[in-house]
Amino acid sequence: MNGVTSHHRSAPEPVAPHRFVDTEAELAWVVEQLLVQPRYALDTEFHRERTYWPKVALVQIAWPGELVLIDPLAVDLAPLRALMDSDALAVLHAASQDLEVLELATGAVPRRLFDTQIAAGFLGMSTPSLASLHERELGVQLPKGNRLTDWLERPLKPAQKEYAAADVERLLEIHDALVAQLDRLGRVAWAEEECEIMRSRDRGPRDPFEAWRKIKEARHLKGSALSIARSIAAWRERRAAEIDQPVRFVLSDIAVVSVAQSAPESPEALAKVRGVDKGVARGAIGEKILAAVAEGRANDWRPPRPQKRRDDGRDIRPAVALVAAWVNQIARDRQLDPTLLATRADVEALVRGDDDARLAHGWRAETAGGPITRLVSGDAALAFEGGNVVLEERSRRPVV
């Protein structure tokens, strides 16, 4: 692969010295040091298996000469807001969930972000793990750790601290290596554009009335049963957020669908529904469920019709299949992660002529969107050559 140095695997290297920050004074010192740094590496450890909101258990930050593990069980992370609001570049790997955690803990996300997983996609890697990037770019192995470790236990064991510290210890080196390769390929701006999309994505509270869409069986309901399921799922979502417990602890998916289908009107009827505990049915929670049933029945909600797209009567399926094959060919030829370049839905949107098609904007338009537009308009053609799909000028001479 262009610009990639081959490394031999080695045993995990000793983790650099790091300090455990568990006092307000130490955290203030960390923030003071970081505010004069141009960049820093950051990672978080969190749990959400037994809570609605992710519960942050550790924040790891590294910058030249320093590595700290911040204990959010001992100190309020609010002072990190100043770092989030600064011009320092935050380097993270697979940052999506970390950003949610940071926003909840500090009220902000970094103003500038570089996601090493996104950047690696522009070098042909398909959503690589942090461990695989360490091996590929630096020739080192991260410490083996138990992914199911309890990060909320205290005191943390030395092995846990080393595992957490290793995630950020050499992340700035990986940042340097990736940027150098991206620069040679002229793709730094592409990666920055995609990282900004990730950074600025809306991570606000979920709309409770959209919660039903996550229940597979509910998506097949019709009529009043669907309206009731939507109402119950919305109540469940609000209740889970209020008591900070997973939605399944409030009411199972099976129970939501079963209640929607049977539409009980009394605690006795509710107690007979599959998945509903008899004690719950006859208590205060049962009253809330029955109120949601009544609300759903009264609203008689129906899903809005899909937004009308441009339709000129053409069957675009053959064109989409051919263009999708060519897009995958482009990704392979240019060493791009195919899923980063375009999904099938992206191809459909562009072929259909949607104004908001992702392939019509930014680096995607430069790489594939423009040529696809020429193809769809009839100014270019696709052909098979040497096992590859090739876009070429159209001769306008029919073969048959």
- 381: pLDDT confidence band, cut at 50, 70 and 90? confident
The model's pTM is 0.87
CA distance 47 to 331: 35
d(C-alpha 89, C-alpha 117), whole Å:
16
Sheet containing strand 66-70, edge to edge, reads 19-21, 66-70, 55-63, 39-47, 89-92, 112-115
C-alpha to C-alpha distance for 1 and 6, rounded to whole angstroms = 10
- When the pLDDT of each residue in the chain is averaged and rounded to a whole number, the result is 91
- Least confident range from 124-133, 311-320, 381-390: namely 311-320
**Inter-CA distances, 120 with 94, 125, 322, 333, Å:** 11, 5, 27, 16
pLDDT at residue 12, as a whole number: 54
Summarize pLDDT for 284-339 with one digit per residue, the tens.
999 999 999 999 999 999 998 765 555 555 678 888 988 898 899 899 999 999 99
Q: Which of 286, 256, 288, 251 is nearest to 268 (CA)?
A: 286
Model pLDDT, residue 319: 83
Which token pair is 93?
A: 């790997």
pLDDT digits over 234-285, tens only?
A: 999 999 999 999 999 999 999 999 999 999 999 999 999 999 999 999 999 9
Taking the chain, what is the end-to-end CA distance rounded to the nearest angstrom? 41
